[in-house]
Amino acid sequence: MYSRRKFLTQTCGGVGGLALTQLLNTDGLLAAASAGGMGGTHHKAKAKNIIYIYLEGGPSQMDLYDPKPMLNRLDGQALPESMLKNMRFAFLSKESARIMGTPRTFKPHGQCGMELSDLIPHIGSIADDICLVRSMHTDQFNHVPGQLLMNTGSAISGRPSIGSWLSYGLGSASKNLPEFVVLITVGRGVPGGSASWSSGFLPSKYSGVMFRNDGAPVLNLENPARINAAMQKRTIEGVAQMNALRNAEVRDPEIESRIAAYELAFRMQTAGPELMDLSGESKETLDMYGVNRQEPKIEGGSLGGVGLFGTFARNCLMSRRLIERGVRVVQVIHASWDHHSRINTELPHNCALVDQPIAALVKDLKQRGLLEDTLVVCGSEFGRTALGENRPGNRSVTGRDHHPNAFSIWLAGGGIKGGQVIGETDDIAWNVTKDPVHVHDLHATLLHLFGFDHTRLTYRFQGRDFRLTDVHGHVVKKMLA
Amino acid sequence: MRTLDLNLLSFRPGSKCRTWLALAGFAALWQSGGLTEGRAAERAKVNFGRDILPILSQNCFRCHGPDEGSREAKLRLDRQEGLFREHEGFTVVVPGKPAESELIVRITTTDEDEVMPPLSTHKKLTPAQVDLFKRWVAEGATWGKHWAYETPVRVEPPAVKAPAIAVQNPIDNFIFSRLETEGIKPSGEADRRTLYRRLSLDLLGLPPDPKAVQTFIDDKRPDAYERVVDTLLASPHFGERWGRYWLDLARYADSGGYLNDTLRPYAYLYRDWVIDAINRDLPFDQFTIEQLAGDLLPDAKIEQKIATGFHRNTLKNDEAGADLELDRSKTAVDRAATTGSVWLGLSVGCAECHTHKYDQITHKEFYQLYAFFNSTAERDLPAPRPEELENYNAKLNSWEGKRAKLDSPLEAYLQTVLDTKLPAWESTVIRPTARWTMIKPTDVTIATEDEERALVPDDDLSITPGIRAPLKSRFIVKSTLNLANVTGFRVEALAEPGKTVGRSKSGDFALAEFSVTAKLPSGEQNKLELATARADFETKTGVAAKTIDGDNGTAWSVGPQTKESHVIVFELKTPQTFPEGTQLVFELEHRIVGIMGRFRLAATTSALPLEPNTIPDTLVAALETPHEKRSAAQVNELARYFARTADEPGQKLYAPILEHAGQAPDFPKTSAPVLITADRKTHIHLRGDYQRPGAEVEPDTLEVLPPLKVRGKRADRLDLARWLVDPVNPMTARVTVNHIWKNLFGRGIVATVDNFGAQGDRPSHPELLDYLATEFVRLGWSRKQMIRFMVTSATYRQTSTARPDLTDRDPLNVLLARQSRHRLEAEVVRDVFLASGGLLNAKIGGPSIFPPLPAYITAFGRNRSWPATEGEEQYRRGLYIHLRRNVPYPMLLTFDASDTSVTCLQRERSNSPLQALTLLNDPVFFECSEKLGEKLAAEPGDIDQRLHRGFETCMSRPPTTAERKAMRSIYDDQLKLSGGDGALAMVAVARVLMNLDEFITRE
């Protein structure tokens, strides 16, 4: 590594301008600089990449993934006192809340016969690839603590996100893109902001980098208006040239790193437009993701905003393109699933928005042979209550409140055993009755798939060795292929 | 072992808040230990605290340490008695006899079932460590405390036998004598340009003024250097530079995090307090006391209360439906943990859920520290800035002048009615029968869905909720009342002239519930039973009786009559007499639609029924006073009331006055987030869960440290703060000088600046650390004097050029045979750009700024407003950039500014392509190169001269010949590539200069 760097410096200093082009074409020159923080995995990894689709807000499990025929029969009835004891809710008044039925219908999908709601037919078409977990549970019933727990393993702010832990553990496979990319459909706004992709106390290079899916993907990727491409190139060369001169005086390895960073930056400038250019994608692919779909009108408007069908579809397609280009971790966020009211309008609209592109992504990864190495996770921070939300002040009951006891997520690819359902809940999806999977267990399993023992992927901060799973977590063996 | 174990290093890279030095330092420790060890003649006796304890802690304490919960085989090695006791027929350590000591047997055995640490822990002692254990036992196994818990001992600075460069002060004696032992020569003194730039960046965070550099170069006086130091220490920018370091520790931000990420528009008052305190060199002991307990100081000034904003920088979860008690308790946990990290250098927060696994901090002791902050509440105190007050007073004066003008025709008219219309009207007035006694509030708070604020009643005993109009609020008014046979209470909802009575959009209010609780001196609490509630006016749905129906979803409102004052009276079921010392607690809960704009409470002993009468009490008093005994003021009040309410010509004259009244200037809204005391009992939280209370504890400190001195019955934050800065406390001075040292030398004497505990590094120069700690106290805790002491050392003045001879021996520059060379902090990177580009607005303090950003960067959270700062304000220093927790300013994030959620004791210094993109293309940075380039292009002289000047502006030194040539070739190429645009080519060269490593590096 030292000799490589030395080579780099000498090349830059000696040959000046010419060297850069050569360097840009020299693959692998900088690879060593981006090795992971752990210097290797603990065991052989099943997954190399992850696309983590985060449907912020808590989608309703009994309207999507967890069929509960009893709900409609119990509609309008109160819950027994025993089930409400020790429960806390964000909004609903326990005493007067009643069970709310669902207009959704469920039918089996795939060889495995996984029962899924009529709102997600496309996801139904990949049932044999996915492992549906109906027995997730969490400790948190408010969005931000819930999201922090789901995305950083702790309800307290300031911890590294899953993506940051993975970047830290794995390092980057891309020489001209960041290690961890975040694509957001803002919708109602991501409640905890960047906390879900922050590197916390890990070095900031492990932090998720927000990409746009249109125009220049990253902030500052475009040259200032007055600087043409040739001038930019000469600028980078000039910086390398003069940095090398200084380094001859002070001999600081940091200068060598900085020269390398400028070269990488220049490559990102080239890689950016190439990444964004969808002209190489076939019409079939674009149609499969629904990039140019017609967006249906939503009656009464959507809290999560309109005009996002194309954005989300492009984000899904973009995540495949990022993975293809060596990005290890992609987080796709859509923030519009907090259906306290108008659930029967908002939920179908948002499902129509995500169902097709998500299923297309899994199919596309599969047909390109990428699914084997790429773990796809689709989840949220909690589920919703079987009780209708009777928030004081609401005129009518049209939604569901936050529910931490039981919710559903699914995983596919990257070492996951597809075509199976893990866990069961009671008749109203209130409590888990079989194979409970805590958020920490999910995290332990994710790390396991990437070759890490979750108890040993640690980072020392303020005198303590921190882990994603804190002091908890068990690998869910059933999930593994 | 003469070289560093690089494998060990490689698996812990830097962190945003750098702790990798922990391990690097650990390795270096063995290395430096090895350096000394290598010299047989100087082979020192093994020291338990220094040599053995760290290995025990690292490898054994997890199972055999302080934490009872995880202790194996009932064996603990962190205590003297545990180490030397008999255990299951063996003795753990037999002094002088390694072979008989079970500890030695177990760490040396090859039996996989017997070996310690067990294989399952993946921990293994190195042969060198095993050897240390053996030697320690053989040498008699002397036990000792962890080094940091021992009082600092000031030793005579050791002599340097043959100084390679002149010793400037005792720091050099410690550093150079150690180098001498190692056979290493220090580096020479840096040249004056480098020194000036280094000082300027270190002390002010700004590049030097080229003229000042030249003056320094030309100054032949022997104390020229010291003069520069003193000038820089006196600069008001010093407080900005060193204040920013402190703000990292204080986890300062301009928003509260979590879902709403509620803005804290006045958080800057604390930031500015820090800058000012550092500029006036407030001694560090006082600096500590004011931040932890400024509110408890006798006759605390507003500025001392603002200082308590240190612990108001915690995050706050104000999401609707959030578990507020959980948030409050986690906030207190953070305050205790942060206090431990910042002042004690101990990770006390690790004992939140269980006894510390490595350090002597029990679970109970953590909650003793927590108790100080559990007995604390948050307040926002009105704190208008002097210039705001001045502005307000000026507006008020002019407003009052106009009012006087409008008043004079009215006054003239009033004189004409005194003996005519007024007596006639008086005879028609029906006077209310009840007489009211005003409630004098002793304490008023407004509790909204997300905060609790203190309010100060006006002189007329009325209460206004102040700055913000929160959605839903509960007023809590405490008072003492010496009255017998109280029959009822009254609330006056007062409409200020020209304004509405309530704060809802329509000017209404909705009083949902009213209650009065009597807290008797015996401790007994009675919620008083209210029989009726009647108002002078109510709407169809908002009837008065709803204020006592126990349902906070229904309320009393006044619908269309929002311009008038209103009254509601409550009759007690039975008359009450309150013994002396009784406290009455009034609660007024409002509904979402709005709160009262101003209200006042009263009680009465009059007979029932009580009528809700809006005639002011003072007017009733005036009416009841015989004509001849009335004061002029009473006469005037009567006449005005008559004119305003019952007389047509009077009302005409009143109309403009009322309209003008509505335009009265608002009192400045600025209010300071501070701490106050609130008595609460504290229990241990079992497993850190506040819903599982364990034994009750009292506020106290750690047993391993000197005892706390308590002023009163119960220890408070002031006792804690004074304990921290008591010179007998071995931690605070050491930890603080180490912070200062780290900022000036690139790494701490204890490399783990955040951890002085058993898991932390040992000091590289223990005697120097103790010398500095005692010197700090001797210098009266003066930060400036301590910095002066450090920067005037020869050690500091060395060149930072790498030493190939030491690349392998001392790659981390632990021994300081040269200065360190490091990239500037995020904010300072911005500052040097703005300064060198000639754009910097050097204004100090005030509200944070919002540099322009694309919307997609600022608008992904729930709180999306980013009102871009325009004009000169946008070119202010980096430390004034608005810090929104959920939307970090990208440039600051990219350059490793501290994460604002927890205290940050050391930042990472990363080097990434995103940094390159930022400096190259971010509009503000490009603008800096544009400004510099255009300035150069417009200057006289030939191209080379201008390039030369540009270089000097950026680096504070002339270019070398090679650099001159390189610049010229860049210029020539860019000239061609830009189609012959000379100014643009100059901009392009300036852009190269500002993107050079040296430009953003302190050398």
- For B611-765, strand residue ranges (E) read 671-677, 682-685, 693-697
Of B142-151, B664-673, B853-862, B867-876, where does mean pLDDT reach its minimum? B853-862
- Of B716, B770, B769, B723, the closest CA to residue B745 belongs to B769
Q: Which residues contact A275 (CB under 8 A, 6 or more apart)?
A: A177, A217, A318, A321, A322, A325
Task: Check: CB of residue B926 under 8 Å from CB of residue A224.
Answer: yes
User: What is the pLDDT, as a whole number, of residue B44?
Assistant: 67
Task: Check: CB of residue A341 under 8 Å from CB of residue A297.
Answer: no
| Distance in Å from the first CA to the final CA of chain A | 37
For the stretch B772-791, pLDDT in tens is 999 999 999 999 999 999 99
Measure the CA–CA gap between B243 and B849, rounded to whole angstroms: 17
Question: Mean pLDDT over residues A157-185, rounded?
Answer: 87
Measure the CA–CA gap between A406 and A425, rounded to whole angstroms: 7
Boundaries of every domain in chain B: 13-33+149-184+731-783+794-821, 46-144, 292-389+668-729, 409-431+615-667, 435-613, 923-1002
- Of B930, B931, B919, the closest CA to residue B1001 belongs to B919
- Of B476, B446, B473, the closest CA to residue B590 belongs to B473
Q: How confident is the model at residue A83 (pLDDT cuts 50, 70, 90)?
A: confident
For the stretch A249-284, pLDDT in tens is 998 888 988 998 899 899 989 888 899 999 999 999
Measure the CA–CA gap between A91 and A78, rounded to whole angstroms: 17
Measure the CA–CA gap between A368 and A363, rounded to whole angstroms: 9
């241990």: which residue's tokens? B684
Q: Which residues contact B835 (CB under 8 A, 6 or more apart)?
A: B206, B207
Report chain B residues whose CB lies below 8 A from the CB of A189.
859-864
Measure the CA–CA gap between A181 and A319, rounded to whole angstroms: 9
For the stretch A283-297, pLDDT in tens is 999 999 999 999 988
């360097």: which residue's tokens? A23
Angle between helices A439-449 and A162-170 (to 10 degrees): 20
Nearest CA in chain A to B24: A460
Angle at A245 between CA B828 and CA B960, to 5 degrees: 90
Phi-psi region of A419 (alpha: psi -120 to 50; beta: other; left: phi over 0): left
Report chain B residues whose CB lies below 8 A from the CB of A184.
860
b/e burial code for range B38-75 (CB count within 10 A of at least 16 → b) = eeeeeeeebbbbbbbbbbbbbbbbbbbbbbeeebeeeb
Report chain B residues whose CB lies below 8 A from the CB of A205.
910, 912
User: Is the per-residue pLDDT at B333 higher than 80?
Assistant: yes
Question: Mean pLDDT over residues A156-161, rounded?
Answer: 88
How deeply is B981 buried, as exposed, middle or buried, from its count of CB atoms within 10 A (0-12, 13-18, 19+)?
A: middle
For the stretch B251-300, pLDDT in tens is 999 999 888 888 999 999 999 999 999 999 999 999 999 999 999 999 99
Contact B893 A142 (CB under 8 A): no
Task: Check: CB of residue B359 under 8 Å from CB of residue B66.
Answer: yes
Question: Mean pLDDT over residues B124-130, rounded?
Answer: 87
Task: Check: CB of residue A236 under 8 Å from CB of residue A268.
Answer: no
User: What is the pLDDT, as a whole number, of residue B470?
Assistant: 53
Measure the CA–CA gap between A450 and B289, rounded to whole angstroms: 49
User: What is the pLDDT, as a whole number, of residue B429?
Assistant: 85
- Tell me the Cα Rg of chain A: 24
Share of chain A above pLDDT 70, in %: 90
A21 in helix, strand or coil?
helix
User: Mean pLDDT, chain B, as a whole number?
Assistant: 89
Tally A–B CB contacts below 8 A: 276
Question: Mean pLDDT over residues B355-373, rounded?
Answer: 90
A6: contact with B, CB 8 A cutoff: no
Q: How confident is the model at residue A1 (pLDDT cuts 50, 70, 90)?
A: very low
Chain A contact probe: residue of B16, B260, B999 with most A CBs at under 10 A = B16
Contact B917 A220 (CB under 8 A): yes
Nearest CA-CA distance, residue A208 and chain B, Å: 11
Report chain A residues whose CB lies below 8 A from the CB of B916.
258, 261-262, 264-265
For the stretch B516-542, pLDDT in tens is 999 888 878 889 999 999 999 998 888
Which CA distances in Å does B983 have to B833, B834, B934? Answer: 19, 19, 6
- Tell me the Cα Rg of chain B: 35
Nearest CA in chain B to A402: B321
User: What is the pLDDT, as a whole number, of residue B120?
Assistant: 82
Question: What residues does B454 pair with on adjacent strands?
Answer: B445
**Residues in chain B, total:** 1003
């079939």: which residue's tokens? A284
Q: Read off φ and ψ for residue B40, nearest 5 degrees.
A: -55, -35
Question: Mean pLDDT over residues B643-650, rounded?
Answer: 88
CA A153 to chain centre: 14
Task: Check: CB of residue A127 under 8 Å from CB of residue A419.
Answer: yes
For the stretch B129-175, pLDDT in tens is 888 889 989 888 888 888 999 999 999 999 999 888 999 999 999 99
For the stretch A302-349, pLDDT in tens is 777 778 899 999 999 999 999 999 999 999 999 999 999 899 999 999
Angle at B716 between CA B714 and CA B721, to 5 degrees: 140
């790390």: which residue's tokens? A447
Nearest CA-CA distance, residue B53 and chain A, Å: 15
User: Is the per-residue pLDDT at B855 higher than 90?
Assistant: no
User: What is the pLDDT, as a whole number, of residue B57?
Assistant: 81
pTM higher than the cut 0.95: no
Contact A243 B996 (CB under 8 A): yes
Contact B122 A456 (CB under 8 A): yes
Question: What residues does B614 pair with on adjacent strands?
Answer: none
* Sheet architecture: strand order including B511-519: B452-455, B441-448, B473-480, B583-590, B511-519, B525-527
Q: Read off φ and ψ for residue B863, nearest 5 degrees.
A: -110, 100
Nearest CA-CA distance, residue A366 and chain B, Å: 31
Q: Which helix (H) or strand (E) holds B618?
A: helix B617-624
B12: contact with A, CB 8 A cutoff: yes
Q: Read off φ and ψ for residue A298, nearest 5 degrees.
A: -115, 125
Residue B51 identity (one-letter amino acid) = D
Task: Check: CB of residue B35 under 8 Å from CB of residue B2.
Answer: yes
User: What is the pLDDT, as a whole number, of residue A38?
Assistant: 63
Contacts of B956-965 spanning 24+ positions with Cβ under 8 A: B956/B193, B956/B194, B956/B196, B956/B197, B956/B207, B956/B208, B956/B210, B956/B213, B957/B193, B957/B194, B957/B197, B960/A245, B962/A245, B963/A242, B963/A245
User: What is the pLDDT, as a whole number, of residue A190?
Assistant: 84
The verdict on ipTM greater than 0.85 is no
A62: contact with B, CB 8 A cutoff: no
Of B35-49, B377-391, B886-900, where does mean pLDDT reach its minimum? B35-49
B973: contact with A, CB 8 A cutoff: yes
Nearest CB to A234 within list B911, B974, B995: B974
Report chain B residues whose CB lies below 8 A from the CB of A227.
926, 988, 991
Contact A264 B15 (CB under 8 A): no
Measure the CA–CA gap between A249 and B511, rounded to whole angstroms: 75
Angle between helices B648-661 and B386-417 (to 10 degrees): 180
Report chain A residues whose CB lies below 8 A from the CB of B922.
219-220
For the stretch B210-238, pLDDT in tens is 999 999 999 999 999 999 999 999 999 99
Nearest CA in chain B to A221: B917
How deeply is A85 buried, as exposed, middle or buried, from its count of CB atoms within 10 A (0-12, 13-18, 19+)?
A: exposed
Chain B contact probe: residue of A204, A239, A389 with most B CBs at under 10 A = A204
Q: Which helix (H) or strand (E) holds A137?
A: strand A130-137
Angle between helices B783-791 and B732-745 (to 10 degrees): 50
User: Is the per-residue pLDDT at A15 higher than 70?
Assistant: no
């950026």: which residue's tokens? B954
Q: Which residues contact A280 (CB under 8 A, 6 or more apart)?
A: none
- Other Cβ atoms less than 10 A from the Cβ of A351: the count is 23
Report chain B residues whose CB lies below 8 A from the CB of A190.
860-862, 886
Q: Please count the CA atoms within 13 angstroms of the CA of A167 that sit on its side-chain side.
A: 32
User: What is the pLDDT, as a whole number, of residue A394?
Assistant: 62
Question: Mean pLDDT over residues B742-762, rounded?
Answer: 92
Report chain A residues whose CB lies below 8 A from the CB of B912.
204-205, 261
Measure the CA–CA gap between B642 and B636, rounded to whole angstroms: 10
CA B99 to chain centre: 54
User: What is the pLDDT, as a whole number, of residue A36?
Assistant: 58
Measure the CA–CA gap between B788 and B778, rounded to whole angstroms: 14
A156: contact with B, CB 8 A cutoff: yes
Report chain B residues whose CB lies below 8 A from the CB of A254.
821-823, 911, 997, 1001
- Other Cβ atoms less than 10 A from the Cβ of B982: the count is 14
**Residues in chain A, total:** 481
| Domains of chain A and CATH, by start | 44-224+285-479 (3.40.720)
Measure the CA–CA gap between B483 and B492, rounded to whole angstroms: 20
Task: Check: CB of residue B324 under 8 Å from CB of residue B332.
Answer: no
Measure the CA–CA gap between B589 and B591, rounded to whole angstroms: 7
Nearest CA in chain A to B899: A200
Query: Which residues in chain B (884-923) have CB-CB distances under 8 A to chain A?
Result: 884-888, 890, 893-894, 896, 899, 901-902, 905, 908, 910-918, 920-923
- CATH 1.10.3130 holds for B435-613: no
